[in-house]
Amino acid sequence: MRVWFLSAGLALMCMAQNAAAGTILIVGDSISAAFGLDTRQGWVALLEQRLKDQGFDDKVINASVSGDTSAGGRARLPALLVEHKPQVVILELGGNDGLRGQPPQQLQQNLASMIDSAQTVGAKVLLLGMQLPPNYGVRYTQAFAQVYGQLAHDKKVALVPFFLEGIGGHPELMQADGLHPTAAAQEKLLENVWPTLKPLL
């Protein structure tokens, strides 16, 4: 009888651990897809290792696509939510919208739709904000940057105001194209995300 109770207890513990483990879905562009790098060097791979080191069982699904826009992410998200059933969705999109000069209102609508879709299935959302270089003009860059803060306020979601904080504007941390972080910058990207992500796990 004692052995039976012990076995049952271990089974319940395993079930509880499996129930506690969740899925983190990252929908981003080339920055999260580790463009120009071995994917094992990217911040998403570093996140997986951080989770393991700190005792989290969460699985990370990196659905990032180089060159993707918010419109592309919006189109892809519904199927990703059905397939992976995430508990946390990280949205890292908008940089390509800005580089193409697309209207900030369009970016806001696309991201808002993605947030709504994630929240509808019960997922928590972390929004990674982006900023544009000043050569795009003050009016446009300000309108672009404000999209993320406004969405975080309106939709009550977690926000990293500028994902590339401490990296953008530092040539030694950017690849030759001036757009993509180097391998040396990936740990900083993770550090920019981790304090806001950890409470959501």
Q: Which residues are catalytic?
A: 30, 177, 180
Cβ–Cβ < 8 Å for 183, 35 = no
Residue 119, Cβ neighbours under 10 Å: how many?
A: 15
CB atoms within 10 A of CB 122: 10
Q: How far apart are CA 101 and CA 188, in angstroms?
A: 27
Q: Determine the Cα–Cα distance for residues 139 and 43; give it in Å rounded to an integer.
A: 31
CA dihedral over 148, 154, 160, 161, signed as positive or negative: positive
**In whole angstroms, what is the distance from residue 51 CA to residue 46 CA?**
9
Contact partners, residue 38, CB within 8 Å, separation at least 6: 183
How far is residue 5's CA from residue 18's CA, in Å, rounded to a whole number?
20
Nearest of 125, 201, 188, 186 to residue 159 by alpha carbon? 125
